[in-house]
Structure 1
C-alpha cells in the first residue's frame, strides 16, 4: 500500500504532525510505503521524519496568508505523482493541500480525518469564511471522501451536522502514542532547577500551542486568584505561538506576574518530559480539541490533568474519573486547581487513574493498525 499524507508537517503545527509521525511508523512496519507532502514557510522547522518515510516539502506562497497552505509547487507535485498512490490521507478541511486531490483525477482513495475542525466552536472562528468555503466546495469534498476518520462521538455528530446527513463510511479511531517512549522518564527536579522553581512550590503546566481555543483566557485569571492562597505557585506556559501570545504577555505585564508565570517557548523531547514530570498539575481548559495528545502524554507520565469535556475524549474521562473536569468558567477552573493543590492525596489518586486510562486507550500500535485495516477495506 502506498500512502500520501497531505498536511502541514512542522513543529509549529503541533498535534497533526505528531499523529502523522506515529501512524507512519506503524504503517511502515505493516509494509506500507508512506510519503508526507507538506508546504513549509521560511523559518518553519520540519517535524521529525519517520525512518523509512519520504517527505516532500514545497514552499508556501505569500497568498497562504489568505488561502491556508497555498502552494502552487505542492499542486504541481501532486499532479505529477498522484497516480503513484493508493491512499491519499487529508488531515482537516479548509486548506489548499486538502483540496488538491479533488482537482486531479487518480485511482487513489481519499481518506479524511476531522481533527476536531468541525465542532461548533471551531466553525464559529472565521465563521463567514468557513461557511462560504463550505457552501462553494468544502462540504462536497468531504462528502466525496471514501473514508472519514473521527476520534470520538462528538466528532461524529459534528460531521453529521456539517454534511447534513450521515456519511456512509465513517470509522471512530482515537489518537495514540508510542508508550515505550515514556518507560524511562527524567528524574524529578531538573525542570524546576532550570527555571528556579522551589521544590515545594505548586507548579501548574500548560503545554500546547498558544492558541485562542486552548482556554488561556480562563487559566490565567484562575491562576492569578490561586496566588492569593499560594503566592509561591508558578504557572509554566510551554508551546509555540499560534496567534495568542500577545494576549498572554499583555496579561502578565498588566497584572505584574512576570515572576509567577514562566514562558518557555516550545519544548520537545527530554526537555518537554522534564516539564511534565515536575508539574503538579497539567492544565488545559480547552474549548476545542480533536484528541489531545499533550494531555495523554501528561497522563502517561503520571501527572494529574485538569481539562474540559472538549478535550476529545471527555466522555471517556467521565466514565473513568481520570481527570479533573471543569467548565468554561474562570471560577470553576480556579476551583479545580484549588482541589488538586489543596489535596495531594486526591491529586496522586487522579494521576494514577489517568496513567492507567492513557495506557489502556492510547497504544499507537493498536490504534494505527486499526486505521491501516480501515484503509485496506476501501482498496
Structure 2
C-alpha cells in the first residue's frame, strides 16, 4: 500500500494540524504502509530551514519539502505541483489535510485527472464557527472548489463525532471518524518541572492554570481573560500560563484583554513550548483550560488530559465524550461558565484530582495514535479494494469511563 500524504505546511507555527499529520504518517508507516509526506517550507512569516526537493527519512516514513511563496496560510508552490504531475500516479491513495487552500484544491484536481482515490481531513475547518469566520470569502471558495472536491473524495476523515454531525449537515455522507491521539509512552513517566520553573521563575509556588495552543481569535482568549480576572481576585495565588505561538499577530490584542480584566501581572506568555519543556509545563500546571470557539479535535486537550490534569474545555472543543466519562468539565463558550468551572476545581482539589485521574485513563485507553492508525489503514485498504468503508464511530463511554 503506497500512501501519499499532503499538507500545505508542517511548520510549528501552524499548531496541532501539522503535528497530527506527521504523527499519522509515522504511525501508519509503523503498521506496514509505505508512506510519503510532501509539503512546503512555509512557516508563518518565515521559512523552514530544510533541504528542498529531496527525500528526508524520518523514523518510518519519508518527507519532501518544496519551496513556496506564501503569505500566512496562503501558499503557492509550482515545484510541488510539477512534482505531483509527474509522480502522483505512483501512489495507491492520496490523503490531503486542511481545506480552503489553493494547493489542496490543485491536488484534488490532479487526483481526479489521474483517477487516484483521495481522502480528505478538514481538521475542523468545516465547523460552523470556522465557516462563519471571514464567511463571504469562504462561501465563494466552498461553492466553487471545496464542495465539488469533497463530494468526489473517496472518504472524508473527521476527527470527532461532533465534527461528523456538522459535516453531515453540509450534505456529505462519505465520512469516517478517526480521532487524533497521543503516544502513551510519552505521558507514562513525565519529567519534573524544574527547568520550566527556572525559565519562568514567576510561576514557582503558584497555582498554575495552563492554556496550551496558538494565540488566535478562535481559541477564546477573549473569554479566558475576564474568566481569569474573576478567578484571580478570589484566589490570588493563581497564575495563568499562556503557552503557544502568536500565529496571526494577535498577541497585542490578547494582552489588552488581560489588562482590561486587571490581571495581566498574573499571566505569563511563554511562546511556543515543545518537547521536554512542554511536558514540564504540563507537570507544573494544576489545571488545564481550553476556552476555544471551534476545534476539530484538540491535540492539546488530549495532552492535558493524558497528563492527569483536571480540564475545563468548551463545547467548541468537540469532546462531549469526556463529560460522559466524567473526565472533564465541559462548558459553553461563556466567560462566566469557564470561571465558575475553574473556581469549582480550585475549591474542591480532591474531586478535581479524581477528575484528572479519570481523564488520564480515558485517553490512555481510547485515544492513542496506534489505535487511530489501525482504523485508517483499514479505511485505505477498503478504498483501494473498492469495498464498503468501515463504519467507524468514536466510542461512546459509559459514565465510569469504561469503553462500551
TM-score in same-fold range (> 0.5): yes
- Match status 1:185 vs 2:193: no
2:244 to 239, 245, 262: 239
- Which residue pairs with 2:4 in the alignment? 4
Matches within 5 A, 1:7-18: 7=7, 8-18=9-19
Q: Note if contact 1:93-1:117 (Cα within 8 Å) is conserved in structure 2.
A: yes
1:132 to 131, 140, 160: 140
Q: Tell me the distance in 2 between the aligned counterparts of 1:227 and 1:99.
A: 47
Deviation at 1:254, TM superposition (A): 5.4
Q: How high is the TM-score relative to the length of structure 1? A: 0.92
- Match status 1:154 vs 2:159: no
Deviation at 1:107, TM superposition (A): 4.0
Structure 2 SS opposite 1:103: helix
Q: Which runs of 5+ in 2 are unaligned?
A: 51-55, 385-404
Q: Tell me the distance in 1 between the aligned counterparts of 2:357 and 2:297.
A: 20
Structure 1 SS opposite 2:99: coil
- Which residue pairs with 2:255 in the alignment? 249
Q: Tell me the distance in 2 between the aligned counterparts of 1:120 and 1:234.
A: 32
Q: Note if contact 2:306-2:363 (Cα within 8 Å) is conserved in structure 1.
A: yes
Q: How high is the TM-score relative to the length of structure 2? A: 0.87
Q: Note if contact 1:61-1:72 (Cα within 8 Å) is conserved in structure 2.
A: no
Deviation at 1:249, TM superposition (A): 2.4
- Which residue pairs with 1:223 in the alignment? 228
- Which residue pairs with 2:108 in the alignment? 102
Q: Tell me the distance in 2 between the aligned counterparts of 1:253 and 1:139.
A: 42
- Which residue pairs with 2:280 in the alignment? 274
Q: Tell me the distance in 1 between the aligned counterparts of 2:307 and 2:108.
A: 42
Q: Tell me the distance in 2 between the aligned counterparts of 1:278 and 1:184.
A: 14
- Which residue pairs with 1:295 in the alignment? 301
| RMSD between aligned residues | 2.1
Q: Tell me the distance in 2 between the aligned counterparts of 1:194 and 1:101.
A: 43
Q: Which runs of 5+ in 1 are unaligned?
A: none
Structure 2 SS opposite 1:185: coil
Deviation at 1:197, TM superposition (A): 3.8
Structure 1 SS opposite 2:74: coil
Q: Note if contact 2:41-2:68 (Cα within 8 Å) is conserved in structure 1.
A: yes
Aligned residue pairs, count: 373
